[in-house]
Amino acid sequence: MSQHVVATVDEIPPGECKIVTVKGREIGIFNVNQEFYALINRCPHQGAPLCRGAILSRLEAPSPGDYRLTRHGEMLRCPWHCWEFDIKTGQSWCDPDSVHARTYEIVVEPGETLAKGPFAAETVPIAVERDYLVITV
Amino acid sequence: MNVTVLDRKPETINQSFTGFIDCDVHPFYKSPAEFDAFLPERWREHRRTIGGRTRQGLSKASNYPRMSPGNGQRMDAWPPDGSHPGSDLPFMQEQLLDLFNVAYGLLAPLVGGAGGERNVEFGAAMATAVNEWQLARWCDPDPRLKASVQINIEHQEAAIEEIEKRAGDRRFVQVQVPPRGLEPLGRRRYWPILEACAANGFPISLHLGGTSGHPSTGGGWPSFYHEEHPSYVQTMQTLVTSLVCEGVFERIPNLKIVLVEGGFAWLPALCWRLDKHWKKLRAEVPFLRQKPSEYVKQHIWVTTQPIEEPERPQDMLSTLEWIGIDRVMFSTDYPHWDQDDPRYAFKVPLPEAWKRRIYTDNARELYGLD
């Protein structure tokens, strides 16, 4: 496992996703209401680029005709077959016990910390006054 | 350690999933005016100023709009220039034909509206135009792509003329008929067209979609696309039953029918039921000289997408055996939202010999491809 600086905090606005490649793996970095989450860009169903799907709320209906939108912007719908996943946990809506999209640990680190290492700034230039997203892969 | 953000890297595909024949590929236009080049002036003006007369109330929307953008497109299938999925050959090559080194892709155009047009003269003109368009836009630039002859089945004379015109042109491999017709396909009024297909060596491809104007289920109009999608199965069951029970396969022994995008796991159960009834009711259809299931085995082929995903994945193997390993052909349905990826469609490993048949040999033999 190693840690990788993938973006500045302010380059992914709430409700959006940035797809990065780390160790040959495509990973989507999501900003859900100023909290950050990382999911593999691969649907466990048929391998679609999952993180290019629509970001939605969770639509629930305790009974027919009784609709409730909850958890705004926390669900991801696959761009192929519309399977839905919880961005925060990778859990699928259709088979939550056994079908998951892989998640990665992601943290916000101040540039000041990163500048001291062990992270070497190669392509995302590190400025001490900014905050960065660091994922563990 | 820092990270480089890259574009999606070209994938390396396991060779056992390359080189297949894709029995369902959907080409689209960048503009409907593309058809004008292949329409006579009289119909060009008609297309521009009057347009299609469909069998449904909404001429420019489907009865059951899909959830995915573009009325049911794969969200990553928009070409870089922003044009409609399926409208750009280089992008289709990148996402499908070259990526998987597809041996042949069978085009199933769902554009032009020829098949369901109520003004049958216009429908016939559009059928000819879409046929020419397939050649010019797709088959000639990439000979891996094979065309499906479009006809308007309600204009018998023009349909037969079109079939005969395309016979012998190896760029066309089959005749495409919308399965939701005004009457079930086995009815006698369609026999001359069915005979023309068989006589000219064309299997008939029944690709789901569209509407006949009748409710899409036997029980009335459904509320949701979730109900509409499985109703394709009912349509296919109706057509198989009609073709068998009307005696079409007795009358036209070399007729070959391909069911596209209607699923397939239901077919064995339908055959069991038809056989059961045949034993009891055969006096009504004494021209059926063998069990319905025998006709199905001899005359019907199915394509895989949208593939069934049984609760116990290994049940797929029994299902394939019941239908016949030599009757199932792989299809992606690119670039639609419910398309199947050749690597992951089957949730159970297939024996190598089955895989060869399903992914290539069955289509190769049926369509006489190299």
DSSP B320-367: HHHH-GGGEE----BTBTT---TTTS-SSPPPHHHHHIIIIIHHHHHH
Buried b (16+ CB within 10 A) or exposed e, B213-222: eeebeeeeeb
Is residue A29 situated within a structural domain? yes
Interface test with B, best of A45, A46, A133, A135 (most B CBs within 10 A): A46
In angstroms, what CA-CA distances link B213 with A25, B181, B209, B220? 48, 8, 12, 12
Nearest to A59 by CA among A74, A46, A69: A69
- Please tell me the distance from the alpha carbon of residue B249 to that of residue B239, in angstroms, as a whole number: 13
Total beta-carbon pairs less than 8 A apart between chain A and chain B = 71
Checking DSSP bridges between strand A66-77 and strand A54-63, what pairing results, if any? antiparallel
Q: How confident is the prediction along chain B (370 residues), in pLDDT tens digits per residue?
A: 444 444 455 577 888 899 999 999 999 999 999 999 999 999 999 999 999 988 887 777 788 888 777 888 999 999 999 999 999 999 999 999 999 999 999 999 999 999 999 999 999 999 999 999 999 999 999 999 999 999 999 999 999 999 999 999 999 999 999 999 999 999 999 999 999 999 999 999 999 988 888 899 999 999 999 999 999 999 999 999 999 999 999 999 999 999 999 999 999 999 999 999 999 999 999 999 999 999 999 999 999 999 999 999 999 999 999 999 999 999 999 999 999 999 999 999 999 999 999 999 999 999 999 9
- Is B67 in Cβ contact with A21 (below 8 Å)? no
Is residue A57 situated within a structural domain? yes
Of residues A21, A52, A82, nearest to B5 (C-beta): A21
Is residue A121 situated within a structural domain? no
Is residue A120 situated within a structural domain? no
Nearest to B343 by CA among B9, B1, B8, B15: B15
- Please tell me the distance from the alpha carbon of residue B175 to that of residue B164, in angstroms, as a whole number: 11
Query: Domain limits of chain B?
Result: 15-367
Indicate the SS3 state at residue B266.
helix
Contacts of B341 in chain A (CB under 8 A): 46-48
- Is B76 in Cβ contact with A47 (below 8 Å)? no
Give the pLDDT of residue B55. Answer: 84
In angstroms, what CA-CA distances link B148 with A6, B39, B77, B171, B172? 48, 18, 22, 9, 6
* CATH code of the domain containing A52: 2.102.10.10
CATH class of B15-367: alpha beta
Helix then strand then coil, % of chain B, to nearest 5: 40, 10, 50
Cα–Cα–Cα angle for B317, B318, B320, rounded to 5 degrees: 65
Contacts of A81 in chain B (CB under 8 A): 337-338
Is residue A49 situated within a structural domain? yes
Q: What range does the domain containing A49 cover?
A: 13-106
State the total domains in chain A: 1
**DSSP annotation of B97:** I
- Statement: the pTM of the whole predicted model exceeds 0.90: yes
Q: Is A93 on the interface with B (CB under 8 A)?
A: no
Asked if B301 and B327 count as a contact pair (C-beta separation under 8 A), the reply is yes
Token pair for B218: 């036997």
Asked if B104 and B361 count as a contact pair (C-beta separation under 8 A), the reply is no
